[in-house]
Amino acid sequence: MNARTLMVQGTASSVGKSLIVAAFCRILRNCGVSVAPFKAQNMALNSFVTPDGFEIGRAQAVQAEAAGIPPAVEMNPILLKPEPGMRSQVVVMGRPVASMSFRDYHAMRPELVRVIHDALARLRAAHDFVVIEGAGSPAEINLRSQDLVNMHVARVADAPVVLVGDIDRGGVFAQFVGTLDLLEPPDRGRVAAFLINKFRGDATLLGPGIEYLEERFGTPMLGVAPFIADLKIADEDSVALENRRGRRAANGDLDIAVIQLPHISNYDDFLPLEHERGVCVRFVRRGDEIGAPDLLIIPGTKSTVADLAWMRASGLADAVVARARRREPVIGICGGCQMLGRRIEDPYGVEAAVESAPALGLLPIATRFAREKRTAQVRARAIAPSVFTGMSPEDIGEISGYEIHMGGIERDADAAPCFEILRRNSVAVNAADGAVADRAGAVAGTMIHGIFDNDRLRARMLAWLGSRRGDAAPAFKSSFSRDAEYDRLASVVRENINWPLFERIAGLA
């Protein structure tokens, strides 16, 4: 069976393509259609691990969840993870190939074309429908000959295109007109409809602009999707972090500060904390922004050594060390855990030109980068008192998460790990994870992403943080489910599009 297709492209980056694809996936799933997402090439530092241990962009994992299916590597066959020096780690079919410049990457195009075609064909054979996401804009003239992800894929899939524009930034009609004018006529003919996204206000005021577009190009407006406030769905674009800077905790709220590293990765780790009532999560970039939070977090990073040097230059490293010496809670996740250790060794030049660099010296561990990347979904249990478990690892039960890292950590002989990993990709193991600084447990690290998605662990940690400042331990428990958020997103989008037009474009009528 060759599944039907629909492609979502945008007039620019960050117009909301990923969420529109997630909405379309949930809408079709709710209609009883077997649907899967697809993005040929994704550039992002937020990634995820499939159940069989392959790395893909976080956005495609979110879209798969909206579609009600497990994420698969075919949904994102090429992932580019930016690195310092205008280079990227190139991940092909879930495995890192090399770190390379754009010119080197472009030389791989013939091979990558075959990878993309094969992955899309396997998805189309397994499902009734595939919703395809583009990247950036299809009208970048300088990149047209190297296109792998926009109109090239639309032609291969023979997919009608819904062109999305972000009105929240202003100039949405100019975006649409400019994009279509710059497309080659055959590609322009693939644009089946416009979609205005992130609108705040009375949509009837857009009438003259919509009429102009439809008359000039003969292309209908599919709808006007409103800005959806407080949508609790992971956003892959780091632009979203800028909207979370400058927050201040209200009186009585727990204050959690996350260091916004230049190459921060998997910052969706902190969404479960952000969604808790009575908790403020804010991102900081200078030492004087830290203040006196209840918890300071060093997150994951694609470039541990470079970001550690940035922390030292910005004064953040000194602030972290001073806080840890006062035994005020500090945790590190993945790259953040590595930074908290004694040293970082890179004998193979995996991340940096330096073979060895001192870390912050707060955890009794050393990191040694390896040539092979570990990507695994894991099940684990807490085994040591630490800030993660509110100093009480008992009754937490098994937790889930995932690992994505090039380096392994070695603990000092007498160092206590935070967790014991029980399974990797469903295979039984017995592996220690992370470390605590001492019996006080206020400084700790783990290599497991997604740790705060575990409700009992998260609630225990937040209650302990509250008790440290003399508060009565509140009953932290999130009142949301991602499944309900996908339904909310789908409902809002469906209510604000021309449904009969969508059915005709998608071939559902």
pLDDT digits (tens, 9 = 90+) for 258-289: 999 999 999 999 999 998 888 999 999 999 99
Q: What are residue 274's phi and psi, to 5 degrees?
A: -65, -30
**All domains in the chain, ordered by first residue:** 4-232+484-506 (3.40.50.300), 239-479 (3.40.50.880)
Length of the chain: 509
Q: Which of 365, 359, 386 is nearest to 451 (CA)?
A: 386
- Is the pLDDT reported for residue 338 higher than 90? yes
- Is the pLDDT reported for residue 343 higher than 80? yes
Q: Which of 508, 505, 509 is nearest to 191 (CA)?
A: 505
The one-character DSSP state at 234 is: -
Look up 334 and say whether it is catalytic. Answer: yes
Place of tokens 């970039």: 285
Place of tokens 């040591």: 384
- Is the pLDDT reported for residue 406 higher than 90? no
Q: At 241, is the pLDDT very low, low, confident or very high (cuts 50, 70, 90)?
A: low
Per DSSP, the three-state class of 61 is: helix
- Residues 397-423: what's their mean pLDDT? 93
Burial class (CB within 10 angstroms; exposed 0-12, middle 13-18, buried 19+) of 35: buried
pLDDT tens profile 113-153:
999 999 999 999 999 999 999 999 999 999 888 899 999 99
- Residues 66-73: what's their mean pLDDT? 98
Q: At 97, is the pLDDT very low, low, confident or very high (cuts 50, 70, 90)?
A: very high
Per DSSP, the three-state class of 480 is: coil
Q: At 439, is the pLDDT very low, low, confident or very high (cuts 50, 70, 90)?
A: confident
Exactly one of 127, 275, 280, 334 is catalytic; name it.
334
Q: Which of 480, 427, 428 is nearest to 453 (CA)?
A: 480
| Among the ranges given (76-90, 130-144, 247-261, 409-423), the one the predictor scored with the smallest mean pLDDT | 247-261
Q: Which of 221, 202, 222, 225 is nearest to 211 (CA)?
A: 221
The one-character DSSP state at 245 is: B
The one-character DSSP state at 128 is: S
Look up 280 and say whether it is catalytic. Answer: no
CA distance 302 to 503: 41
Q: Which tokens go with 454?
A: 């575990």
Q: Mapped to the 3 state alphabet, what secondary structure does 437-450 carry?
A: CCCCCCEEEECCEC
CA distance 323 to 225: 45
- Residues 69-95: what's their mean pLDDT? 95
Contact (CB, 8 A) for 391 and 444: no
pLDDT tens profile 282-322:
999 999 999 999 999 999 999 999 999 999 999 999 999 99
So what's the pLDDT on residue 469?
Answer: 84
Q: Which tokens go with 426?
A: 């469903």
- Residues 8-13: what's their mean pLDDT? 96
Residue ranges of the alpha helices (H) in 143-286? Answer: 151-157, 172-182, 185-188, 207-217, 239-242, 271-274
| Mean pLDDT score across all residues of the chain | 92
Residue 31 has a CB neighbour count (10 Å cut-off) of: 13
